[in-house]
Amino acid sequence: MIPMVDLKTQYHNLKGDIDRAVLDALESTQFILGPNVSSFEQEAGDYLGAKHAVAVASGTDALHLAILAAGIGPGDEVITSTFTFIATAEAICYVGATPVFVDIDSKTFNINPHLIEAAITPRTKAIIPVHIFGQPADMTAIMAICDRHNLLLIEDCAQSFGATAGGRKTGTLGSAGCYSFFPSKNLGCYGDGGLITCESDDMADRIRVLRSHGSRERYHHSVIGYNSRLDDIQAAILRVKLRHIDEFNRGRRKVAQLYSELLWDLVQVPIVDGNGLHIYHQYTVLTNHREAIMAKLSQAGIASAVYYPIPLHQQSVFADAYTETILPVAEHTAKRCLSLPIYPEMPEESVRLVAATIAEALVEL
Ligand SMILES: Cc1ncc(COP(=O)(O)O)c(C=O)c1O
């Protein structure tokens, strides 16, 4: 069996440190906003090069609270990629704003900056690029557009912890960066978790208030807030894993490099556009023979997955507003994309077996 991601091997490699950290957190009994949360915020902020880092309950909440704290609300439009996980758009809708979906670049699967300006209207408030699969979006172009049109820039870094753009960590280039620690993420905890980075003291303060029932001081509530705190046990686990994130990302890049050497003439392997450091949260190829390859991999006990089969503008929840919209690159990509197993500890033999099985599937066509 080759899984998409092997969380057990990673746990066993770090078991001593993780078990100790969890047991210490249990002994402390400071489960909500305890010492591990503030230490993790400090350590993650230092690692990312962000002035503020505020831990929250999930990546979805990170997006929601960042959008809210940025002052985006009903009547506003927010431009984002149509080729992403639904949470990016859900968070826009939670505040009563409207997501405006833009097509992607065929090589990187990231939002195509050349198409953004045509989507800007007087109601546009922000752009949310998603660094999809761990490859940074074209931030130079996107930041220039934000400057030209006076738009906020909020980065969806759920898949790009540790990736860099222009020498800076993703999530530190705009008004806010939003991260997810869902267990299968490249920095994952053992439940749900998320983080927001920002430079503005005021925004960080607003997010801290929003994540904790709208209160700065216990039982004094200045706004309607949320219960969106990272718990101390998850923070303890993340502190251990954060120390290894560069090594994890290096491991992913090594797996990806070998895949690309073995697969370049069989499928369209990921294209790195030089906009930054790709950390391969996913290794996603394009092929006209997806079903045959998936069937063969499955017979061989190898997992594979389609991220994402339906672009957001075609999801039934948004379809009414987008009946006339055709975003051809995303639609084409959704029909042909295939993500292969990748994790830092993936043995070379496993990568070779996946590639050989894909080659077999294609020979049998
Ligand atoms: C691009 C993207 N944005 C947002 C999220 C939401 O993160 P979470 O599952 O932690 O709420 C995810 C992952 O699930 C994601 O992949």
Q: What is the pLDDT of residues 168-177, one digit of tens each?
A: 999 999 999 9
Q: Closest ligand 1 atom, CA of 192?
A: 10
Report the C-alpha gap between 59 and 51 in whole angstroms.
Answer: 19
Q: Which architecture characterizes domain 245-363 according to CATH?
A: Alpha-Beta Complex (3.90)
Which residue's C-alpha comes closest to atom 8 of ligand 1?
A: 59
Tell me the CA–centroid distance for residue 85 and ligand 1, in Å: 6
For the entire predicted model, the pTM comes to 0.98
pLDDT exceeds 90 at position 274? no
What's the CA gap between 289 and 22, in Å, rounded? 45
Average pLDDT for the chain = 97
Q: What is the pLDDT of residue 275?
A: 82
> For the chain, what are the domain ranges?
7-103+110-242, 245-363
For residue 273, pLDDT beyond 90: no
Which amino acid residue places its CA nearest to atom 4 of ligand 1? 87
- Which pLDDT score, from 0 to 100, does residue 320 have? 87
Alpha carbon of 59 to ligand 1 centroid (Å)? 5
Q: Do 245-363 and 7-103+110-242 have the same topology in CATH?
A: no
**Token pair belonging to 108:** 């990187």
Per-residue pLDDT at 151: 98
Third-level CATH fold of 7-103+110-242: Aspartate Aminotransferase; domain 2 (3.40.640)
Q: In this predicted model, what pLDDT tens digit does every residue of 110-165 receive, in sequence order?
A: 999 999 999 999 999 999 999 999 999 999 999 999 999 999 999 999 999 999 99
Mutation test residue for ligand 1: of 60, 90, 156, the one with most atoms within 8 Å of CB = 60
Q: Which of 78, 84, 85, when mutated, tests ligand 1's pocket best, judged by the most ligand atoms within 8 Å of its CB?
A: 85
